[in-house]
Chain A
Amino acid sequence: MKQHNMYKIIILLVFSFGITAVKLQAQDSTAPATILALRYFLPANKLPYLEVSTKKKNGRKLEPVKAIPVNVYLGEVNETNLLGKTITGAEGLGRIIIPPSFKAVWDTTNSLHFLAVSEPVKGEEDMTADITIKKAILVIDTLSVEGVRTVTAILKEKSGSDWIPVKDIEMKLSIKRSLGNLTVGEAETYTADSTGLASAAFIKDSMPADKAGNIVLVASVEDNDDYGNLAVEKHVSWGKPVISTQNNFWHRSLWSTGNRAPFWLLIIALSIIGGVWGVIIYLITQIIKIKKLGKEPAGQKWDKKQINQSGTIPALN
């Protein structure tokens, strides 16, 4: 029986120890560290840039950490390799455009290694993040065969002095709109075939466009581990020209500002106001006239007959 109790105590101690250990581990994991990340972008018609982000896990959400100074280098940490410095904003993001002074390095290499190093600030230790990007370009083109319009795109990777198409790459083919992009076909993404070509039939042929029917097609590769984020644009006149609707904003109307009131309203309102206030002013002048007449001897300007007829109230005479 005693032995039995002893087993019980041992099991209890083991469980207690286990629970305490799990609790301590859990406490450690509730103090999440800030995560530094680095992304590469080659946007359409713009200089390539790097975006750093600082985020911290809060429950299941990643929340931005602002005001973290970050230095980004091309290669190793070295003053000559410094691409730029940034401080993360309210969204926990910072951006560094690759300066033109790195053009020579940029042109001669096929692969780029970027390193981000954050400076220690209050409550945050220094962090590092790095990415290696294979240099690539994205090419967009269009085909129109027997009335069928197709959008194509090829991602080409630099190999020596040549640009070689890359196969099996996921990319998006879309139409640029004011608040985002719409896919040209029905699929969200398109995969490059064995020749590196991704294509999609253009089915949204009634897309509202500018007066000439121009729309902007966009091909993009997003968050690719090897190539980063690339995008390219092409203007085509495949949209439906928008007939400019008449803009009444600057016209005189009942709902515009006071200085753009309709003329008919101004004329009517001001005529009425002017008419009524004209009468009021006339009546005030009449009171002034009565006052002037009162200051002269009673009935001075009138003949004797009138004077006799005039006079004060009989009750008080």
Chain B
Amino acid sequence: MLEKFSNEKITSDLLPQAFGRRGKIWTASLLAICAIGLFAYIQQLRKGLVVTNMGDYVSWGIYISNFVFFVAISLVGSLITAIFRLANIHWSTSLTRIAEIIAVSAITFASLIIIVDMGRPERLLNLFTHGRIQSPIMWDVIVISTYFVISLLLLYLPLLPDIKIIIEAKNKLGKPFTKLYKWLGSFWRGNVAQEKISNRSITTLCIIIIPVAFCIHTVTSWLFATTYRPGWDSTNFGAYFISGAFLVGAGGVVVAMYVFRRVYHLQHYITELHFDKMGKVVVMLALLYLYFNVNEYLVPAFKMKKPEEEHLTGLFAGEFAALFWFAILVGMIIPILVLVFPKGRKPLPMFIAGVMVVVGAWFKRYLIVTPTLLHPFLPKADAPARYSHYFPSWYEWAIAMGSLAGVLLIITFFARIFPIIPIHETITEQNEAAQHV
């Protein structure tokens, strides 16, 4: 699958590299966006949620849209790492760490954005002291923290052999982060006993992460589906959310593949074959998600029950029509049309399609959360006109963009400190392939 390289070359190619000029500008930009987001959040803490444009009708705005988006994209860790590993699919080895760091960073900010959405964040503690196990919100808190820990373990355990390689290559890398490497993995000798325990633990993690990953997004969908509201009152929601999550996760991996390939010159490790395979995966997932969308919108539209009518008309031809059709076309249909042809599965078109999937998915989450809230079953008699419209305030935009930048910042720092493509596994697989030949 890969070109035959010496072990030294593989190690040298895949070791983490210091930021170049572009890397520094990129990191500084992300830090600046995060700082603006942090400033906006401090203002929100001081003045209260009144700085947002949320109100009595739209109580879940851009923050919860972002939360659903982060939870969705985090699901990719279980797809690329666990499902592909258990299915003995070896081409995905180069992509496992990219998928895992996307999962860890996204789930970290999913947890944080929920706290941002709370007017009184110190009351989060009450959820643990007075929580109701009957509430889907409680299930979400439990499953998110569980998924975070499992994802972290799944990132850490396969990293141990690579940390040893980094420590041994310190002459090449210089001193930065030496203490961190030693603290994290100086005990790894790579002996049979350690390898055996590590492999068994990784397999266990791969098995356990799949149901937990399904739970995390099913439970998130139940936050909506257990509420009797137009657009949310659906038995389809769990499967609809999971299929969408796999799609956006795969789209995110495609974008990251392209960027890392170009920035770190990894053309020999993330090859056109990887793009071709991932392209096929994205097409399959987009078709699956499209199928669930047809179910989700066409069936209620066929019946057009009175409470659903205003909501669906708003999506198809009303206030949200432009966003809705953008999300459907750009997030699903155009990527399918591009990637279904072999020429479309080349790196650049794949990158463009991946960006479309991710951007479309973000707007899709916004459309799931907000329009429903604008149409309550029992509208207030004296509700002001502004209740019937929602557009986030600059505080909300700044915090939301800050959280997105935060996810990218974690991935960026991770790629600076650790190998973004597993070195040990790449060498092992190459050696095994050579022996097999």
- Where the two chains meet, the residues of A that have a C-beta atom closer than 8 Å to any C-beta of B are 254-258, 261-262, 265-266, 269, 273, 276-277, 279-280, 282-284, 286-287, 289-291, 293-295, 298-299, 301-302, 306-307, 309-316
Contacts and interface: CB of A to CB of B under 8 A. Distances in A.
* A265, A295, A299, A313 pick with most chain B CB within 10 angstroms: A313
B7 interface: yes
A289 B197 contact: yes
Given A258-B130, A287-B201, A314 B191 contact: no
Contacts of A254: 134
Contacts of A291: 187
A311 B208 contact: no
16 contacts: A254-B134, A258-B134, A269-B133, A273-B142, A280-B150, A280-B153, A290-B160, A290-B197, A294-B187, A294-B194, A298-B191, A299-B191, A307-B191, A313-B424, A314-B7, A316-B11
B154 to A, nearest CB: 10
Contact of B192 (A261, A286, A302, A314): A302
A276 B208 contact: yes
B193 interface: yes
Contact of A313 (B130, B201, B427): B427
Contacts of B432: none
B277 interface: no
A298 B133 CA distance: 47
Interface of B: 6-8, 10-11, 130-134, 139, 142, 146, 149-150, 153, 156-157, 160-161, 164-165, 168-169, 186-195, 197-198, 200-201, 204-205, 208, 212, 424, 427, 431
Contact of A255 (B134, B205, B212): B134
A258 B190 contact: no
Given A283-B153, A295-B187, A290 B198 contact: yes
A268 to B, nearest CB: 10
B365 to A, nearest CB: 26
B146 A280 contact: yes
Contacts of A294: 186-189, 194
Given A295-B187, A313-B424, 4 more contacts: A273-B146, A291-B187, A302-B191, A310-B195
B206 to A, nearest CB: 11
Nearest to B160: A290
A172 B156 CA distance: 83
Nearest to B130: A258
B396 to A, nearest CB: 31
A293 B189 contact: yes
Contact of B431 (A298, A307, A314): A314
Contacts of B187: 290-291, 293-295
Contacts of B132: 257-258, 261
B332 to A, nearest CB: 33
Nearest to B134: A254
A4 to B, nearest CB: 61
B165 A315 contact: yes
A298 B192 CA distance: 9
A271 to B, nearest CB: 12
A312 B189 contact: yes
B134 A261 contact: yes
A291 to B, nearest CB: 5
B149 A280 contact: yes
User: Dominant SS at the B interface?
Assistant: helix
Contacts of A309: 192
A315 B149 contact: no
Contacts of A256: 134
A284 B200 CA distance: 13
Scoring B132, B200, B208, B431 by chain A CB atoms within 10 A of each residue's CB, the highest score goes to B132
Interface centre among A279, A290, A298, A312, by most chain B C-beta atoms within 10 angstroms, is A290
Given A254-B134, A258-B132, A295-B187, A316 B197 contact: no
Given A255-B134, A257-B132, A314-B431, A283 B194 contact: no
Contacts of A306: 191-192
B11 A293 contact: no
Given A269-B133, A290-B188, A294-B189, A316 B165 contact: yes
A276 B146 contact: yes
A313 B205 contact: no
A310 B142 CA distance: 40
Nearest to A291: B187
A279 B190 contact: no
Interface centre among A262, A294, A312 (most CB of B within 10 A): A294
A269 to B, nearest CB: 5
Nearest to A277: B146
A311 B190 contact: yes
A250 to B, nearest CB: 15
B190 A312 contact: yes
Contacts of A277: 146
Contacts of B212: 276
Given A265-B134, A314-B427, A316-B169, A283 B191 contact: no
A19 to B, nearest CB: 42
Nearest to B186: A294
Given A280-B150, A293-B189, A313-B427, A261 B194 contact: no
Given A276-B212, A280-B149, A283-B153, A310 B134 contact: no
Contacts of B186: 294
Contacts of A307: 191
Contacts of B200: 286
A311 B191 contact: yes
Contact of A312 (B149, B164, B198): B164
Contacts of A255: 134
A208 B139 CA distance: 44
Given A314-B431, A316-B165, A316-B169, A283 B204 contact: yes
Given A261-B134, A273-B142, A313 B165 contact: yes
A194 to B, nearest CB: 54
A213 B50 CA distance: 55
Contacts of B150: 280
A272 to B, nearest CB: 8
